Copies of this chain bind each other. A is one copy, B any other.
Amino acid sequence: MKKIDGGICAVQGVSANGIKEGKTGLVVILAEGPAAGVFTRNKVTAAPVLLTRQRIETENHLSAVIVNSGNANAFTGDDGYLDAMGMASMLAGKLDLDPELVAVASTGVIGRRLDLGLIEKQLPEVLGAMGSSPGCSQAAAKAIMTTDKVPKEAAVELDCGVRIGAIAKGSGMIEPNMGTMLCFVYTDAKVPADVLDAALRKAVEKSFNMVVVDGDTSTNDMVLFTATCKSGIKPCLECLDEFEEGLLYVLTELAKKMAKDGEGATKLVEARVTGAKEYEDARLAAKAIVRSPLVKTAIFGKDPNWGRVVAAAGYSGAELEQDKLSLSFIGGGEEVELVKAGDISGFADLGLLKKIMAAEEIVITLDLGMGEESATAWGCDLTYDYVRINAEYTT
């Protein structure tokens, strides 16, 4: 498996384009084949999520995705649902596609009607420059951005020749009234929808679902996975493992980019919890550490504040015993062990700790000393800018 450029356009059979005018962007991705999706669990569910989830469940197949940024089309009732259908039909009409095979995604302000007129105006320009160059994937990745500071793309080529590429947006619940992480994943492998679905759920669990920026879950989150089958390669059983590895790699890359691009973030925080009795214990502890506002502010303050880390693990619901905990901080290529099997006497070289805490990427490793299971979660620090971004605004 090797990392490659080109994002979604690295995958055979995918063409894309996107434009952004001020805060409103429009993206179209054409790629026909079996498809699967994972959607927000928020009970306040945006219209495009309701529509696309329903279509994926009935058809297990997609021919295109149309995405707008600037308006989430959420909490907009039946009108909003009709608007989402209208978006899909507009694209289907122009390209003579079956509207049932067109997915819709939106990100932006909650509680405002979509401006279909604007989308109708932007659509010809987007369709006019569709293509399969790396630049087209870039254009799409940029057009779905809201307050993201960087476009997010990743792609790999597996040893068997299969390619997997994706673009994503999101840095937590972004902008006042605004949220959402969107990810569109493509492969040219020849795989049926049920295999895509199983692989996607597994990979999302260990990538996007392990990212915490502020713990808020958006009304619009959506990850779509389509197989163009264009490589003609049907992963054998061994390849299937590599296929899942490749997918996990791509989604994890994007997950880390989201965490690092978290609102106001200055640092990427990775919590690696090992030695858990059950995977669930490791997962709970890792997520509690990257979610804790006290850990996040300590990281921002460059403070090796390990008391907050063990406290977070302690209330996470994970099974643990404090006298079995071992804790290390890693950063800038250095590592310091702060707690060893509950013993804090080795409280460490402060100079080295300072150097570690100054790094842009901080890794916290917590060994529960109770078993073999492990999990990793990603987050960012909590800064003045997070408060500014989310407070200095009036609806």
A105 at the interface (CB under 8 A from B): no
A320 at the interface (CB under 8 A from B): yes
A122 at the interface (CB under 8 A from B): no
Check A109 against B307 for contact (C-beta < 8 Å). Answer: yes
Check A305 against B177 for contact (C-beta < 8 Å). Answer: yes
Residues of B within 8 A of A312 (CB): 216
* Interchain CA distance A388-B43 in the complex, whole Å: 34
* Partner among B44, B313, B387, B395 whose Cβ is within 8 Å of the Cβ of A305: B395
Residues of B within 8 A of A218 (CB): 311
A sample of 11 cross-chain residue pairs with beta-carbon separation below 8 angstroms, ordered by A number, consists of A43-B315, A43-B318, A45-B314, A77-B323, A77-B342, A110-B310, A176-B298, A219-B311, A297-B386, A301-B390, A383-B387
Check B303 against A393 for contact (C-beta < 8 Å). Answer: yes
* Partner among B42, B292, B339 whose Cβ is within 8 Å of the Cβ of A311: B42
A interface residues, tally (CB under 8 Å): 66
CB within 8 Å for A300 and B387 given contacts A216-B311, A293-B293: yes
A residues 366-395 touching B (CB-CB < 8 Å):
382-384, 386-388, 390-395
Q: Is the interface of A mostly helix, strand, loop or mixed?
A: loop
A209 at the interface (CB under 8 A from B): no
A75 at the interface (CB under 8 A from B): yes
* Interchain CA distance A18-B74 in the complex, whole Å: 55
A302 at the interface (CB under 8 A from B): yes
A343 at the interface (CB under 8 A from B): yes
A306 at the interface (CB under 8 A from B): yes
What's the nearest-Cβ distance from chain B to residue A341, in Å? 11
A304 at the interface (CB under 8 A from B): yes
A141 at the interface (CB under 8 A from B): no
Check B77 against A301 for contact (C-beta < 8 Å). Answer: no
* Partner among B43, B177, B298 whose Cβ is within 8 Å of the Cβ of A391: B298
